[in-house]
Amino acid sequence: MAQRSPTMKGLHGAPVLAAVGILFLMLGVAFVRSGSQFRRRPDRVGWRRAEGVIVGYRPGPWTGPATEQERLLFPVVRYVLPDGSEREFVNPTTVDTGLYRTGITRPILVNPADPSQAELASSRAVRASLHWGHVVLGGVFCMGGAAMLAVAVLLLALAR
């Protein structure tokens, strides 16, 4: 039975480490790319602040594993235009239903060029935090993956 040389003992871990490093790099890139979708939405520059009343919630898709599924809720907000007519919109992001209870008034942003376009004023902050959260998490995964790849290459180089 042939014995391995002492330098070959740890070599079998290098390919596994390299594979995990590549996986982390791919996850990091995916997080950064998915975070960029939150930046692509318009910044609502020039939109006017107004007040809107939360009148209910529209259920979104079911999320989570089959045993613990929950449904996202998107607030339905009613507001009054300067001409006195009422409009409603479904906010594009979910909110904490404890803070945004039905019947309370919240600040909204309304597009003066098309008053049918509106959203809760907090939605912009939510998008920004989601963007930066994804970018930071993606960066951490990329750095971790690069470090694992570097260690794997070093192990392979030392084994020669």
Instruction: Give this prediction's pTM.
Output: 0.52
Domain boundaries, position 13: 6-40+133-159
Q: Rounded distance, CA 51 to CA 21, Å?
A: 49
State pLDDT tens for residues 45-98. 788 889 999 999 998 777 767 666 677 889 999 999 888 889 999 988 777 777
As a whole number, mean pLDDT of residues 138-151 equals: 91
Check whether residue 32 and residue 52 sit in a common domain. Answer: no
The CATH number for 110's domain is 2.40.50
Which distant-in-sequence residues (6+ apart) come within 8 Å of 71 by Cβ?
59, 60, 61, 62, 63
Check whether residue 92 and residue 115 sit in a common domain. Answer: yes
Structural domain tally of the chain?
2
Tokens of 38: 């939150």
Does residue 125 belong to any structural domain of this protein?
no
Check whether residue 59 and residue 91 sit in a common domain. Answer: yes
Characterize the bridge pairing of strands 70-80 and 118-120: unpaired
Does residue 75 belong to any structural domain of this protein?
yes
Does residue 22 belong to any structural domain of this protein?
yes
Does residue 127 belong to any structural domain of this protein?
no
Check whether residue 107 and residue 153 sit in a common domain. Answer: no
Does residue 111 belong to any structural domain of this protein?
yes
What pLDDT score was predicted for residue 62?
72
